[in-house]
Structure 1
Amino acid sequence: MNDVASEREWLEYRIRCNESYIREYEKLIESAERQIEQEHQARGKDTKVAKERIEHLTKSFIPWQQDGIQDSRECIERYRARLDALNFVEKDGQLELVF
Structure 2
Amino acid sequence: MTYVFGDIHGCLHSFNTLIELLSPGADDVVVTLGDYVDRGPASKGVIDRLLQLQEEINLVTLRGNHEIMMEEARKGPLPHHFGSSMEGSKRWLPTEVVH
State the TM bucket, normalised to the shorter chain. under 0.3
TM-score by length of 1: 0.27
Higher helix share: 1
The structure with the greater share of residues assigned to strand is: 2
Q: Which has the higher contact order (CA 8 A, sep 6+)?
A: 1
Structure number with greater Rg is 1
Q: What is the TM-score normalised by the length of structure 2?
A: 0.27
